[in-house]
Amino acid sequence: MGATEEAFITPAIPMDFTYNYRIGLYMTRYLEGFKERKIMGSRCSGCRKIAVPPRKYCGVCNKIMDEFVELPQEGTLENFTVGHVVLEKGRLNPAENPYLLGLVRLDENASLLLARVEGLDPAEARPGMRVKAVWKDQVEGDYGDLDHFAPA
C-alpha cells in the first residue's frame, strides 16, 4: 500500500433517509392485539406450530399460517444472554448496566419470542424460569407496547 491515511479524503457526511415499511396483514394483527394487551400468533395448517409474532408462511411446510391464535401472557425462559454492550447504529458501545435478553416460550407449540427480561439480577437468571409479560402503561399498538418480561 505505502500510502498514509492522511493521503485519502475521508468525508464523513451523515445521511438520513426516511423509509416507509409496510408491515402487512399479519404484523398488523399482532400490533392490533397489543392495543388490547394480547399477544397474537399464527398457526400453521400443516405442522400446527405457532409463529410469534404471526406471519403468513411456514417455510418448513410451505403452508399459509392462516389461523390467528392468542397466546398466554406467561411462559418459560428457555434461553438468555446478558448483554454488556449495546449496538447502536452499527457501533458497539458498552452498556450502562448488564441487561438480560431472553427467548421466551409462551406455548409448547409456539416459537420463542425474543424480549428484554427485567425484575431480576441477570446473574440469577436460569433457563426454565417462569416469566410473564409486562406492558407499558399506555398501549397504542406499537412495537414497544410489550415492554419486557418479568419473573412470574
Partner 1 sequence: MRNVAIVGIGYTPVFVSKRRDVCIPEMISEAVENAFKDSGLTPADIDAIIFGNMHTFEGVNLPHLWCADYIASLGKPVMRIATGGTTGMAALHAAYYHIVSGLHDVVMVVTYEKHSEGDSQVGLLGIITPEIMAMLALGIDVTGQSGMGAIGGGSAGGISYQASSYLAHSGAGIEHIDAIAAMERRNAAKNPYAHLKDPEATAEKIAQTPLVSYPIRFGHICPTSDGATVCILASEEKAAKLADRAAWVWAVSNCCSDATTGNLIEGIITDPAEQMPAVIASRQAYERAGIEDPKKEIDYVEIYNGFAHQTLMFLEKIGMCELGEAHKLLEKGELEMSGRLPVNASGGVVSTNSIGTSAMNRVTECALQIMGRAGEHQVEKEVHKALAHGWGGLMQYVTITILADKPKKP
Partner 2 sequence: MEGKVAIVGFRMMSAPDLVTSRERLTFELTRGLLDDLGIDRVDVDTTIIDSNDFLDGRTISNVFLDGPAGAYLRDESKVEMDGVNAVIYACMRILSGQYRTAMVVALGLTGSQVSPYLHIEYALSAHYDRQTRLLNELNSAALQARVYLAKYGYSEELLDEIAAQALGNAALDPYQARRISGVGKDEVAASAYYYEPLRELHCYPPTDGGCAMLLASEERARELTDKPVWVLGMGRSIETFYIGERDLAASPSTAQAAERAYAMAGVKNPGAEVDLAEISALFAHQEPLLAEAMGLLEEGKAEEAYRSGDTSVAGKIPLNPSGGALGGHPICASGLIRVAQAVRQLRGEAGENQVGKAEIAVAHGQDGLCAQQNAVLVLGV
57 in contact with partner 1 (CB under 8 A):
yes
Query: Which residues 6+ apart lie within 8 Å of 125 measured at CB?
Result: 77, 80, 82, 100, 102, 117
One residue of 7, 9, 87, 123 binding partner 1 per CB under 8 A: 9
* Interface map 109-138 toward partner 2 (x if CB under 8 A): --xxxxxx----------x-----------
Question: Judged by CB, which is closer to partner 1: 58, or 115?
Answer: 58
* Interface map 105-124 toward partner 1 (x if CB under 8 A): --------------------
What's the CA angle centered on 123, arms 118 and 124, to 5 degrees?
70
Q: Which does 1 bind (CB under 5 to 8 A by kind): partner 2, partner 1, none?
A: partner 2
118 in Cβ contact with 132 (< 8 Å): no
**101 residue type, one letter:** L
One residue of 26, 30, 34, 149 binding partner 1 per CB under 8 A: 26
Q: How many CA atoms lie within 13 A of 15 on its CB side?
A: 4
Q: For partner 2, which stretch binds (CB under 8 A), given 32-40, 67-75, 76-84, 130-138?
A: 76-84
**80 residue type, one letter:** F
22 in contact with partner 1 (CB under 8 A):
yes
The whole-angstrom separation of Cα 133 and Cα 152 is 9
**28 residue type, one letter:** T
What number of chain residues touch partner 2 (CB under 8 A)?
42
